Amino acid sequence: MAVERTLSIIKPDATRRNLTGKINAVFEDNGLRIVAQKRAQLSPAQAGAFYAVHMERPFYGDLVSFMTSGPVVIQVLEGENAVAKNREVMGATDPKKADAGTIRAQFAESIEANSVHGSDSAENAANEIRFFFAETEILP
Ligand code: IDP
């Protein structure tokens, strides 16, 4: 199995409820290593560009408002099959459909305020990591 990197964002609903440590424990308990991490306030331009793929979706404006409503914690996670592993521990987008024990089942407030983002492919992970981090900020 290949060691991969993926981009994770702990979203404003979770930072507001002081859940960063509990969510990080789920990553670490599942073999994902946090090799870069920073707390940031996204601008509307940054959040809009990050979610540009959803620009035509009806929830896009609300999603940008939500993602800029408070600080986020942006992370690079590293581990075997990190992209798929992180999607597994995050759970389904809609917390009502997320498997028990996943981050979203435990912590998400709604389909929008669902506590975490995780890249959905290795290619998107590389682009998303580059969007937020210089290579020198990632320390395996
Ligand atoms: P993902 O985060 O599980 O990969 P995506 O479909 O890529 O899900 O959607 C990106 C984000 O947009 C979701 O995590 C969620 O915050 C928001 N979102 C997705 N679908 C809806 C919806 O139907 N209503 C409101 N927000 C949504």
Place of tokens 């959803």: 54
> Which CATH number covers residue 36?
3.30.70.141
Percentage of residues of the chain with pLDDT beyond 70: 100
Q: What is the tens place of the pLDDT at every residue in 9-58?
A: 999 999 999 999 999 999 999 999 999 999 999 999 999 999 999 999 99
Give distance in angstroms: CA of 53 to centre of ligand 1: 11
Query: Treating both helix axes as pointing N-terminal to C-terminal, what angle do 122-132 and 82-90 enclose, rounded to 10 degrees?
Result: 90
ipTM entry: 0.99
Binding site residue list for ATP: 11, 59, 87, 93, 104, 114
Give distance in angstroms: CA of 15 to centre of ligand 1: 18
The boundaries of the domain holding residue 122 are 3-137
- Split into its structural domains, the chain has a count of 1
User: Which distant-in-sequence residues (6+ apart) come within 8 Å of 131 by Cβ?
Assistant: 7, 49, 50
Binding site residue list: 11, 59, 87, 93, 104, 114
Active site residue 54: no
Q: What is the tens place of the pLDDT at every residue in 84-137?
A: 999 999 999 999 999 999 999 999 999 999 999 999 999 999 999 999 999 999
Residue whose C-alpha is closest to residue 87's, from 8, 19, 31: 8
